[in-house]
Copies of this chain bind each other. A is one copy, B any other.
Amino acid sequence: MTPGPLGILAGGGPLPGRVAEAARSKGRDVFIIAFEDFAEPAVIGGYPHATVRLGAAGRMLKLLRENHCTDLCLIGPVRRPSLLDLRPDAEGARLVARIGRAAFTGDDGLLAAIVRVLAEEGFSIIGAHEILTEAVGRPGPLGRHTPDDQAQADIARGIAVIRALGAVDVGQACVVQQGCVLAVEAIEGTDAMLARAATLLRPVPGGVLVKMVKPGQDRRADLPTIGPRTITAAKAAGLRGIAFEAGGTLLTDTQGCIEAADKQGLFLVGINPDLSTDKTGGDEAVPPRPPGIS
């Protein structure tokens, strides 16, 4: 039996279009659920799609079934809604009740809960990184610039900090300059954290952005992403480069990222935190990763 079209639940940014393009290039049709106020018409307009309010879960499930979608991919950021903004339809209210508090609180419980509920509704959830295999950041430096010893030490410190935070389900990123942690990301987002770091940078060289997947994070729900804008923001913050978790970060535009990094003199390096040596000596203090996380 031929599988039906890939159902794409599309939030903002360019990645929903990339997923659609990648699926089509492998000969698979797509059907896009474009979340109102988030999905960008220019990105998804060229594909079969329907625009649906985030709260209209009933309509969404009906459309997916009518279009014979059995495999779904969630991609592109949506802002966590308030219950007031959500205005759930009848099915939406039922799902909200099933998702429960996670829909409105918790750090990353919402998307994981949505993935779980969709699976219970009989859909298969495919991670965007499984489709966009070429957009997943690889280990090692992309582009011309590479981190020096100081930057590598700062990256190691950033890994230790994010792991410690990840163990309590907070944040995916931080900014480190010569061993000093300038800023830690909670829910404000990487751009806001970079803007803050810009005001906190000390008058000494250095400064790196480290971005990782949270331990235990459902990669089908939400992966860290980096785009050319991230590189421009890091440059504006006075940083020397960006380290991202290889295999766990989506580059919205790999070539554009490399060009931006090369042009602005930043390094852009894929790291494998499990292989990296912690040069800060703080490893004893870092809690072990929960089992089952590779």
Binding site for B on A (CB under 8 A): 80, 82-84, 101, 104-107, 157, 160-161, 164-165, 167-171, 174, 177-188, 192, 196, 199-200, 202-204, 282, 285-287, 290
Contacts and interface: CB of A to CB of B under 8 A. Distances in A.
A84 B202 CA distance: 11
A73 to B, nearest CB: 26
Closest 7 CB pairs of A and B: A167-B285, A105-B178, A82-B203, A184-B184, A170-B181, A164-B168, A164-B164
A287 B286 contact: yes
Nearest to A282: B168
A23 B183 CA distance: 38
B182 A187 contact: yes
A104 B202 CA distance: 8
Q: How many copies of the polypeptide does the oligomer hold?
A: 2
Contact of A82 (B187, B202, B286): B202
Given A180-B107, A286-B287, A188 B167 contact: no
A165 B106 CA distance: 18
22 contacts: A83-B203, A84-B203, A101-B179, A104-B204, A105-B204, A160-B168, A164-B164, A164-B165, A164-B167, A168-B181, A168-B282, A168-B285, A168-B286, A170-B181, A171-B184, A174-B186, A181-B186, A181-B187, A184-B186, A188-B196, A188-B199, A188-B200
A105 B201 CA distance: 11
A160 B169 CA distance: 10
A161 B168 CA distance: 6
Contact of A287 (B177, B182, B187, B285): B285
Contacts of A185: 184
Contact of A165 (B84, B184, B290): B184
Contacts of A83: 203
Most chain B Cβ neighbours within 10 Å, of A182, A196, A285: A285
Residue among A80, A83, A169, A184 with max Cβ neighbours from chain B (10 Å): A184
